[in-house]
Amino acid sequence: MMGTIHKTGCVLCAQNCGLEVEVENNRIVKVKPDKSNARSEGYFCRKGMNIAYHQHNADRLKYPLKKVGDKFERISWDQAIDEIATKLKSIIGQYGPRSFAYMGGGGQGCHFEAAFGVRLMRGLGSQYQYNALAQEFAGAFWVCGRTHGKQYLHDGPDVHNTDVLLTFGWNGMQSHQIPQAPRQLQRLSKDPDKVLIVVDPRLSETAKIANIHLPIRPGTDALLIKAMISIILKEGWENQDYLANRTSGFDQVKSYFENFDARAAVKICELDFDQVREVARLYATRKSSLRYDLGIFMGRHSGLNSYLIVILQSICGRLCMPGGNIIPGHMMPLGSHTDERDPKVWRTVTTNSFPVCGAFPPNVIQEEILSDHPERLRAVFVTGLNPLRSYADTTAYEKAFQRLDLLVTAEIAMTETAALSHYVLPSRTGYESWDGTFFPMTYPGIYFQMRRPIIEPDGEQLEQGEIDLLLADKLGLIPPIPESLYQAAYESHAAFAKALMEYAMTEPKALKSMPFILGKTLGKAMGSVHLAALWGMLQVAPKSFHENAARAGYTPGPTLGEEIFQKIVDHPEGIWVGKVDPEKSFAEIKTKDGKIDLYIPELLDELKSIEVTREEAALVMPPQFPLILMAGRHISTNANTLMRDPAWNEGKRACTLAMHPEDSQVLNLKDGQQVKVTTEAGSEEIELEITETARKGHVVIPHGFGMVYNGVKYGANVNRLTKNTHRDQFGTPMHRFVPCRVEAV
Ligand SMILES: Nc1nc2c(c(=O)[nH]1)N[C@H]1C(S)=C(S)[C@@H](COP(=O)(O)OP(=O)(O)OC[C@H]3O[C@@H](n4cnc5c(=O)[nH]c(N)nc54)[C@H](O)[C@@H]3O)O[C@H]1N2
Ligand SMILES: Nc1nc2c(c(=O)[nH]1)N[C@H]1C(S)=C(S)[C@@H](COP(=O)(O)OP(=O)(O)OC[C@H]3O[C@@H](n4cnc5c(=O)[nH]c(N)nc54)[C@H](O)[C@@H]3O)O[C@H]1N2
Ligand code: SF4
Ligand SMILES: [Mo]
């Protein structure tokens, strides 16, 4: 019998490529790339091809569970929600709202949960949202808040129109991070008129195809970028016009780049000065763009490097310019603007950490739980992320989470975090729910896809948003809803819209609980709280969204939301919902004067400290840890922790320690043998892989492994080797610079 073919999308990374999935007997049996998906255009990678391993595996959860002794017992939804709500109320009643944290609202494929989870947290009076965003982008987004005016205004390269693409710490051939990345990177590299420049210490898959590879010494990007800026200024390659009209504050920072010994700096980076000068010239004088990623974000001077990059872009006039870096349009901004200088924005009680884009850094939460502060964290609600594998210092996490009065995890699988929890709530997967993401990956078009359920849940799993809703309801966070609103939901969207408006005018609490109200009423009629949230979101879309939608052919005005909603539902492959005006790129900059603000006083000391002698001393490795560990690598055999069943990697060396042949000779180690890696956080054993693609003095372990599946541990958990205190001023872990040693087992 032939199965049914469904158009859907991949939930394993931020590209969410279109997939055509064949479902037979409620199982995914075949996967092909979807050519009709406007964003991925028939591209997918081996992860998407293997999506069935994510959907169907032995760790999937079916029923609510409660920890009794050291075992889980199945309980009813009623009992679970009842008990959790009672405990939450009592903890918050006794210790205040600061005792509660919500870890969620991130993720690669399912963003609708966030609308509900954030409301639940806010309803309980807390601001503590923790997620993965704040262990990678915090520094960069914080800088955007200052330079671009809002933390969620992050720019990316206009890849289709650029002539020179300069990349730092990004391995797009494996990690993607832009649509159809391998196709785009190969196109640039093969075009004789275009240049792909890769700054990466290793011979990464992307470095291999680069036209110019700068094999930078790990951790020295700040020296390199500062040198590039000073070379450009010295040569007079800067764009005076742009600096004068589009930026402010440059005069206050210019002096930091004058009299800077670029030649000596480049030497510390172990790069060739003439080559660096050529790269600076290409970037400054051609139609150029740039992209940087975890090699910078999770490296030394992460926030400062983001700042330096905005300065580099600005002196060359490459920001908000065609073929340069542009700020893509969005259906929904990815996070909110939370300026830590605003007294209403919370700081954590123990580490004094602040949120960026609404997210607190998950690498401080251990200290926030383990502290003696009276308002310390006591209750944590986790959804859609797996701290026990994903964030720094698993050992510290275990200790901290075991101290909690209440740990609740809503999950699709029995993860390491779920296993430690008091209650585990079964969630539907991205293929059992209506769900989608808001990653702004295209330009000038704005793309959106709402995936529909294509697999029937085989237990009592609920949409994640509905789980949050049940909790909010039991906690009394949802105002009373009139019967007429429930009824209108079954009549028509127009009748419902009218009834909702009337209700919102009489019920002051309605606005703040909107996702819950929509979920309880329209969600019931539609059979999905997520779908109801999408409808609601489109009804209240801001003016800028209407303008973008009009450019894509929709009719602005009161019917626009309904028109787009219907089209989204009618097109499972996704649609263009809008188009930004490339002529008005600068309008995206939201600083007071509309100019890029290059003056960030908080970073000037660090900027000054980037000079040869100090950096040289800081880079010396301690004798007990002579090697640099790159703790985490985003390669084709992992998808963060979204693949639990190792069978999809059968026959591959998926999790190894990569080491350069010369280092292995000195240590007398052989390819394939087990080695022990030790850092300040602990030790892990792992198989050694000797490879020319590694760099001398630099070893690499991918993240996301060390999970136990069917009783067997597969690979090493790299976060046993990362200390949560090895982080910067934004709480971002320095996973790309972990001092370590390697020995034979
Ligand atoms: N296959 C796969 N793809 C993924 C994911 C996955 O788990 N698997 N996860 C997704 C997610 S959530 C993310 S955030 C992205 C991350 O995507 P990337 O940031 O591309 O991932 P990394 O593997 O960390 O690659 C960063 C590169 O930085 C280099 N690097 C290390 N140290 C330094 C340094 O000091 N300076 C410089 N200039 N470079 C350095 C590394 O050698 C590496 O090639 O990947 C996404 N895509
Ligand atoms: N040392 C080191 N650690 C790293 C990295 C590194 O480079 N080095 N990379 C980091 C990066 S960039 C990232 S983004 C993080 C990612 O780490 P996390 O934020 O933990 O995200 P995922 O690994 O994607 O885990 C998602 C979890 O959500 C669950 N899930 C999936 N879909 C649903 C759903 O619909 N509902 C619910 N309730 N649950 C669902 C999955 O089962 C999984 O357990 O990992 C980080 N960890
Ligand atoms: S993992 Fe990312 S690049 Fe690969 S198919 Fe899925 S969405 Fe596309
Ligand atoms: Mo990430």
| Cα-to-chain-centroid distance, residue 460 | 29
CB 204 within 8 A of CB 170: no
Ligand number nearest CA of 170 is 1
SS3 at position 196: strand
**What pLDDT is recorded for position 1?**
57
- Alpha carbon distances (Å) from 724 to 362, 391, 528, 630: 9, 8, 38, 15
Residues with CB under 6 A from ligand 3: 10, 12-13, 15-17, 44-45, 47-48, 176, 639
Amino acid identity at 69 = G
User: Which residue has its alpha carbon closest to ligand 3 atom 6?
Assistant: 48
Is residue 282 predicted with pLDDT exceeding 60?
yes
Is residue 2 predicted with pLDDT exceeding 90?
no
The 3-state DSSP composition of the chain as helix, strand, coil percent (nearest 5) reads 40, 20, 45
Q: DSSP H helical segments within 540-654, as ranges?
A: 543-551, 560-570, 604-609, 612-618
The alpha carbon of 180 and the centre of ligand 3 are apart by a number of angstroms equal to 9
CATH architecture for segment(s) 65-134+334-579: 3-Layer(aba) Sandwich (3.40)
For ligand 2, what atom is nearest to the CA of residue 132?
19
In CATH terms, 621-744 corresponds, of 3.30.70.20, 3.30.70.2660, 2.40.40.20, 3.30.70.360, to 2.40.40.20
Instruction: Name the helix (H) or strand (E) containing 285.
Output: helix 273-285
CB 143 within 8 A of CB 303: yes
For ligand 2, what atom is nearest to the CA of residue 298?
7
User: Which residue has its alpha carbon closest to ligand 1 atom 32?
Assistant: 295
Ligand number nearest CA of 46 is 3
The alpha carbon of 138 and the centre of ligand 1 are apart by a number of angstroms equal to 16
Structure tokens belonging to residue 589 = 């900059």
Q: Where are the domains of the chain?
A: 4-55, 65-134+334-579, 155-326+593-609, 621-744
As a whole number of angstroms, the longest Cα–Cα distance in the chain is 77
Structure tokens belonging to residue 60 = 């999937």
Q: Is 384 in the pocket of ligand 1 (CB under 6 A)?
A: no
CB 655 within 8 A of CB 714: yes
The alpha carbon of 75 and the centre of ligand 2 are apart by a number of angstroms equal to 27
The alpha carbon of 80 and the centre of ligand 4 are apart by a number of angstroms equal to 32
DSSP-derived letter for residue 622 is: P
Q: Which residue in 197, 178, 181, 199 sits closest to 189, CA to CA?
A: 197
Q: Mind listing the pLDDT tens digit for each residue in 633-690?
A: 999 999 999 999 999 999 999 999 999 999 999 999 999 999 999 999 999 999 999 9
Ligand number nearest CA of 44 is 3
Q: Is 642 in the pocket of ligand 2 (CB under 6 A)?
A: yes
Is residue 12 predicted with pLDDT exceeding 80?
yes
Distance CA 281, CA 264 (A): 19
DSSP-derived letter for residue 462 is: B
Q: Mind listing the pLDDT tens digit for each residue in 489-528?
A: 999 999 999 999 999 999 999 999 999 999 999 999 999 9
Q: Is 48 in the pocket of ligand 1 (CB under 6 A)?
A: no
For ligand 3, what atom is nearest to the CA of residue 15?
7
The alpha carbon of 209 and the centre of ligand 1 are apart by a number of angstroms equal to 16
Ligand number nearest CA of 293 is 1
What would the mean pLDDT of 229-250 be, rounded to a whole number?
A: 98
For ligand 1, what atom is nearest to the CA of residue 293?
19
Q: Which residue in 6, 133, 15, 184 sits closest to 571, CA to CA?
A: 6
User: Which residue has its alpha carbon closest to ligand 3 atom 8?
Assistant: 17
Q: DSSP H helical segments within 107-180, as ranges?
A: 112-123, 138-147, 172-175
Choose which residue among 412, 724, 726 to substitute to test ligand 2 binding: the one with the highest number of ligand atoms within 8 A of its C-beta.
412
SS3 at position 210: coil
Q: Which residue in 329, 339, 269 sits closest to 542, CA to CA?
A: 329
Percent pLDDT > 90 in the chain is 99
Length of the chain: 745
For ligand 1, what atom is nearest to the CA of residue 205?
44
Q: What is the pTM of this model?
A: 0.98
Give 203-220 as a DSSP string.
--HHHHH-SEEE-PPTT-
Burial 560-569 (b: 16+ CB within 10 A, else e): bbeebbeebe
Ligand number nearest CA of 430 is 2
CB 223 within 8 A of CB 610: yes
Q: Is 57 in the pocket of ligand 2 (CB under 6 A)?
A: no
What would the mean pLDDT of 193-206 be, rounded to a whole number?
A: 98
Structure tokens belonging to residue 717 = 């958990």
What would the mean pLDDT of 193-215 be, rounded to a whole number?
A: 98
Residue 341, phi then psi, degrees to nearest 5:
-80, -15
Is residue 318 predicted with pLDDT exceeding 90?
yes
CB 617 within 8 A of CB 317: no
- Alpha carbon distances (Å) from 421 to 63, 115, 161, 276, 444: 14, 23, 49, 51, 44
Distance CA 684, CA 720 (A): 7
CATH fold, domain 155-326+593-609, is: Dimethylsulfoxide Reductase; domain 2 (3.40.228)
Q: Mind listing the pLDDT tens digit for each residue in 602-635?
A: 999 999 999 999 999 999 999 999 999 999 999 9
Instruction: Name the helix (H) or strand (E) containing 418.
Output: helix 416-419
For ligand 3, what atom is nearest to the CA of residue 33?
5
CA-based radius of gyration for the chain: 25
For ligand 3, what atom is nearest to the CA of residue 44?
5
Q: Is 13 in the pocket of ligand 1 (CB under 6 A)?
A: yes
Distance CA 48, CA 644 (A): 14
CATH architecture for segment(s) 4-55: 2-Layer Sandwich (3.30)
| Cα-to-chain-centroid distance, residue 741 | 30
The alpha carbon of 136 and the centre of ligand 4 are apart by a number of angstroms equal to 6
SS3 at position 446: strand
CB 410 within 8 A of CB 425: yes
| Number of alpha carbons in the 13 Å side-chain half-sphere of residue 74 | 6
The residues that bridge with 199 in the sheet, in sequence order, are 168, 214
Ligand number nearest CA of 106 is 2
Choose which residue among 8, 17, 35 to substitute to test ligand 3 binding: the one with the highest number of ligand atoms within 8 A of its C-beta.
17
DSSP-derived letter for residue 609 is: H
Amino acid identity at 372 = D
Neighbours of ion ligand 4 (CB under 5 A): 136
For 722, counting Cβ atoms within 10 Å of its Cβ (0-12 exposed, 13-18 middle, 19+ buried), the class is buried
For ligand 3, what atom is nearest to the CA of residue 46?
4
Q: Is 117 in the pocket of ligand 2 (CB under 6 A)?
A: no
Q: What is the 3-state secondary structure (H, E, C) of 374-398?
A: CCCCCEEEEECCCHHHHCCCHHHHH
User: Which residue has its alpha carbon closest to ligand 3 atom 2?
Assistant: 13
Q: Mind listing the pLDDT tens digit for each residue in 61-86?
A: 999 999 999 999 999 999 999 999 99
For ligand 2, what atom is nearest to the CA of residue 418?
44
User: Which residue has its alpha carbon closest to ligand 1 atom 40?
Assistant: 295
Distance CA 310, CA 275 (A): 22
Structure tokens belonging to residue 605 = 């000391």
Choose which residue among 385, 401, 684, 740 to substitute to test ligand 2 binding: the one with the highest number of ligand atoms within 8 A of its C-beta.
385
Ligand number nearest CA of 639 is 1
Q: 327: pLDDT confidence band, cut at 50, 70 and 90?
A: very high
Choose which residue among 15, 16, 177, 648 to substitute to test ligand 3 binding: the one with the highest number of ligand atoms within 8 A of its C-beta.
15
Residue the block writes with tokens 């995936």: 451
Mean pLDDT across the chain, nearest whole number?
Answer: 97
DSSP-derived letter for residue 329 is: -
Q: Is 324 left (phi over 0), alpha (psi -120 to 50) or beta?
A: beta
The alpha carbon of 310 and the centre of ligand 2 are apart by a number of angstroms equal to 29
Distance CA 668, CA 284 (A): 46
Q: Which residue in 585, 603, 598 sits closest to 238, CA to CA?
A: 598
Q: Mind listing the pLDDT tens digit for each residue in 705-726?
A: 999 999 999 999 999 999 999 9
**What pLDDT is recorded for position 334?**
87
The alpha carbon of 96 and the centre of ligand 2 are apart by a number of angstroms equal to 29
